[in-house]
Structure 1
Amino acid sequence: MCLGRCRKSLNTGSLNVRSIRSDFQKRELASDAAKYKLDILGVQSHHLAGSDVIQIRPDDNKGRYDFFYTGPANNTRHGVGILVESSFKAEFKEISERVITARINIEKHSEQQPWDRDRFYDEVQEALNEAKNRDILILAGDMNAKTGDSHHDYPQCVGRYGKGKTNNNGTQLVECALRNNLVLTNTMFKHKMSHRTTWECPQRRDQHNDQKSGEIRRNPYRNQIDYILVKNSHMKLVTNARAYSGTRTYPDHRLVKTTLTLQWYKLNSNAKKTKQIDVSKLQAQQNRQTYQREVSRCIQSLNIQDLEPQEKWTKLTTVFQNVALEVVGYIVESVMSEYGKP
């Protein structure tokens, strides 16, 4: 994917919309994408027949999106699509009625029929095989897959923050992720449960009884079944991933959003060498104990419980660096004589 140098991040999303047949619903979808500053949005269950590329503007007419969709030609059930900011000039390709790709290194799909799961993942694999090694690969969709406890067996691709127990669809999704070195981004970040779950039962809460006590449930049934996956090597670019429930399209699925930070490095042969902290001095027991004591004291004084993961990481790394600088200082370079010896 070719991105302008001024772009600092890439926001991707996935949303099951439960029909956007009318022009009003399409504008609402574009408005949701603009509201959450999404560059790319995978769309499932749009209920549009056939395949086409259309342009959609939000209600405020600020911005423009290209929407490529595909679905069964003889009815308006199901269907998948990709909404992309028009400035990307994406090249779209249809693999099947359930799998499509956009040549901005994103593969989009949705599963609708569990009995045809093997064929579906064969089509997904075909799409993944077309990606090049240098591509930023993003796989997004409503997978109908629960991977809640898969972290214990597959920590390399599933995070600690899932929900529930793994089902058959979840097992197949995890196996696909393992084969292709992918990571389920929205299981990797610690958020409250309402920001992890991506689907809520549309029935009213008073129609739900708790399976153990038989009493009316306090909350409706919720699951985490929509995912955005990236390559393991690109997880260092992902700063956050979570679900949002404030969309205007009112589906039973929640919007899943993953943010990637894109850093452009400028080669400069005349750049000054960055000073490095002399971590070798921490091997001395006295320095190490002093460092540990000061870090503990500083962390206890921080109030980071309600911060986003990226903000927590920034504050903690600042503490580590400042304390290390106070305890051991920078590496002192040896003064070289005219004969090249210190």
Structure 2
Amino acid sequence: MCVKKLLHKVGHLSILGCGFDGSGSAGVGFLLNIQAQKALIEWEPVSSRLAKARFRSKLFNVTVFAVYAPTRVSSEQAIDTFYAELNEAVKKTPKRDLLIIGGDLNTHVGSRQANGDRSLGIHGYGERCERGTRLVQFAQANNLVIANTLFRHKPSHVITWRSRDGRTSSQLDYLLVSSRWRSSIQNCRAYRGPDTGSKGGSDHTLVKMSVKIRLVARKRKEPPKRFDVARLKDPTVVEQFRVQLSNRFTALEHEHSNESPEDGNSSGSSVNEDWQKFRNTLQEVALETLGRVKRKRRRWMSEETIRLATKKRSGDQVSKT
């Protein structure tokens, strides 16, 4: 199916959508306010059932996928294609991004079962079906948590779909979030509208999630100072470095020969341990004989600029007198 792109502005809101064909069998999109419009850095309509939007934040970016899974009457091939596209798109998402997947996934996941589904909470709705197991497996494989199942609410705040005759209700719409942000999710619930389930209204409800980001400032690591290798141009320093290094390596060799073999090895130490000793010895001798390079603070004005400024200032003083 050819993907139709849509970019339309309504008042202060922008609609980003793809795949709308009027039949209701496909089509996903985003409704953005002014702040979200300014933060938008990437928009990709992957298919008629999958769209991606990426937003800029101060310390990390946010990637959101709008999804519309095939219904229960669809073939297994359609389900396989949908999850293959979604899985590939998720794998391309940068690891540092806050990842959110939301939409009509047309399945039932229920609650966490006895085997301990780490992607589910204990407040899901209904019983899990076969395709619900497929969604749970996808979430676990990509380290995602299904936010709808984490919070206890009355049924009307959990159900996301109602038939137009009002006789049948279920939970079909979900919000999935990177599990590393699980503790930041404050709430997730459905909001039923006045016309939900009626002939003139939608059979789906709005699902809202509140996320509070707790950020910890990362300590800036100072780069290690380099050894002053320029001192090796001095023959005296070179001889001093050679003698100290030779003495230290002789002591290491003597220590190595006194170690008792273990488990049939020719030496009691491993290759990694020997390398650590070699590296530490070399660095200690270099620090003692060469020292570190002292960083010179760069002047914010070049010598030429200072000379011209001084010349101009002197000329101004002479003209005033």
TM-score, normalised to structure 2's length? 0.57
- Which of 187, 194, 207 is the aligned partner of 1:256? 207
CA 1:103–1:248: 2 relative to 1, 3 Å: farther
Larger radius of gyration, structure 1 or 2? 2
Rounded to whole Å, the distance in 1 between the matches of 2:159 and 2:173 is 8
Structure 2 residue aligned with 1:184:
146
Instruction: Among all aligned residue pairs of Structure 1 and Structure 2, give the percentage whose two residues are the same amino acid.
Output: 31
CA apart distance, 1:268: 10
Structure 1 residue aligned with 2:177:
230
Provide Cα deviations, 1:62-103, integer angstroms capped at 9, x if missing partner: xx2221111166967431111122322322101111111001
Structure 1 residue aligned with 2:35:
87
CA 1:102–1:247: 2 relative to 1, 3 Å: farther
Contact persistence 1:161–1:187 (CA under 8 A): yes
Q: Output the aligned Cα RMSD.
A: 2.4
CA 1:247–1:232: 2 relative to 1, 3 Å: farther
CA 1:248–1:165: 2 relative to 1, 3 Å: closer
Structure 1 residue aligned with 2:6:
52
Counterpart of 1:223, as a letter, is S
Counterpart of 2:88, as a letter, is E
Provide Cα deviations, 1:180-225, integer angstroms capped at 9, x if missing partner: 0100001100111111111111114xxxxxxxxxxxxxxx321111
- The answer to whether residue 64 in structure 2 is matched with residue 106 in structure 1 is yes
Q: 3-state SS of the aligned residue for 2:156?
A: helix
Rounded to whole Å, the distance in 1 between the matches of 2:193 and 2:21 is 32
Counterpart of 2:159, as a letter, is T
Provide Cα deviations, 1:262-290, integer angstroms capped at 9, x if missing partner: 24556899xxxxxxxxxxxxxxxxxxxxx
Rounded to whole Å, the distance in 2 between the matches of 1:268 and 1:125 is 34
Counterpart of 1:255, as a letter, is L
Unaligned 5+ segments in structure 2 are 56-62, 221-321
Rounded to whole Å, the distance in 2 between the matches of 1:141 and 1:172 is 16
CA apart distance, 1:169: 2.0
Contact persistence 2:26–2:48 (CA under 8 A): no
Contact persistence 1:71–1:77 (CA under 8 A): no
CA apart distance, 1:155: 3.0
Rounded to whole Å, the distance in 1 between the matches of 2:219 and 2:91 is 36
Q: 3-state SS of the aligned residue for 2:52?
A: strand
Structure 2 residue aligned with 1:125:
87
Rounded to whole Å, the distance in 1 between the matches of 2:80 and 2:6 is 27
Q: 3-state SS of the aligned residue for 2:80?
A: helix
Rounded to whole Å, the distance in 1 between the matches of 2:185 and 2:70 is 28
Moved over 4 A (4+): 72-77, 264-269
Rounded to whole Å, the distance in 1 between the matches of 2:165 and 2:118 is 36
Provide Cα deviations, 1:232-275, integer angstroms capped at 9, x if missing partner: 11011100000010367831111111110124556899xxxxxx
Rounded to whole Å, the distance in 1 between the matches of 2:45 and 2:170 is 29
Give the number of the structure with larger relative contact order, counting CA–CA contacts within 8 Å between residues 6 or more apart. 1
Q: 3-state SS of the aligned residue for 1:174?
A: helix
Higher-helix-fraction structure: 2
Contact persistence 1:196–1:242 (CA under 8 A): yes
Counterpart of 1:103, as a letter, is R
- Which of 149, 159, 162 is the aligned partner of 1:200? 162
CA apart distance, 1:130: 1.9
Q: 3-state SS of the aligned residue for 1:119?
A: helix
Contact persistence 2:111–2:121 (CA under 8 A): no
Provide Cα deviations, 1:95-151, integer angstroms capped at 9, x if missing partner: 111111001211111113431101000011122112111101000010011011443
Provide Cα deviations, 1:294-328, integer angstroms capped at 9, x if missing partner: xxxxxxxxxxxxxxxxxxxxxxxxxxxxxxxxxxx
Structure 2 residue aligned with 1:97:
48
Tell me which moved more, 181-190 or 85-94. Answer: 85-94
Q: 3-state SS of the aligned residue for 1:151?
A: coil
Unaligned 5+ segments in structure 1 are 1-48, 58-63, 205-219, 270-342
Structure 1 residue aligned with 2:128:
166
Counterpart of 1:125, as a letter, is N
Rounded to whole Å, the distance in 1 between the matches of 2:26 and 2:43 is 19
Counterpart of 1:235, as a letter, is R
Matched residue count: 200
- The answer to whether residue 69 in structure 2 is matched with residue 69 in structure 1 is no
Contact persistence 2:111–2:149 (CA under 8 A): no
Rounded to whole Å, the distance in 1 between the matches of 2:82 and 2:192 is 28
CA 1:254–1:266: 2 relative to 1, 3 Å: same
Matches within 5 A, 1:27-38: none
CA 1:128–1:266: 2 relative to 1, 3 Å: closer
